[in-house]
Amino acid sequence: MKVLLFIVTLLVNTSIFNTNNILDDIGKLIIDRDAVELCKLVSDNIDLTIVDVEKTYSKSQAEEVLKSFFKSHKVKDFKVLHSGSNNKALEFAIARLVTENTSFRAYILVDKTGSSDHLIELRFEEE
């Protein structure tokens, strides 16, 4: 009986604390410098800011811009500093991205209103 209670407790705790969400996925893709998979989370367009260049890109354009960024900035660390949501319609995160050359403040905005979550804004601004 104690073994069964232990297993049930373990399963409940694992399911409560294993809340994988899109912000976690985005963070892992940034660490992996995987622009292809990152852009699969984009709907049709994304507002993308890299340092001082702010534009709205198509999914394919954003992929090329992010590939270039990740090629010239080798990621050393990515840590979410703050995250939250707005009535479950939008989810955001503010993070610190450390590369070999520079540190960036990263801003991530996700639209959660459709049938699936979509990355709608990504900003990398030098600290």
Q: Considering the domain 20-126 in this protein, what is its CATH number? A: 3.10.450.50
Q: What does the pLDDT profile of the chain (127 residues) look like in tens digits?
A: 544 444 444 444 433 443 458 999 999 999 999 999 999 999 899 999 999 999 999 999 999 999 999 999 999 999 999 999 987 899 999 999 999 999 999 999 999 988 889 999 999 999 9
Contacts 24+ apart (CB under 8 A), 41-45: 41/117, 41/118, 41/119, 42/118, 42/119, 42/120, 43/111, 43/114, 43/118, 43/119, 43/120
Q: What is the pTM of this model?
A: 0.81
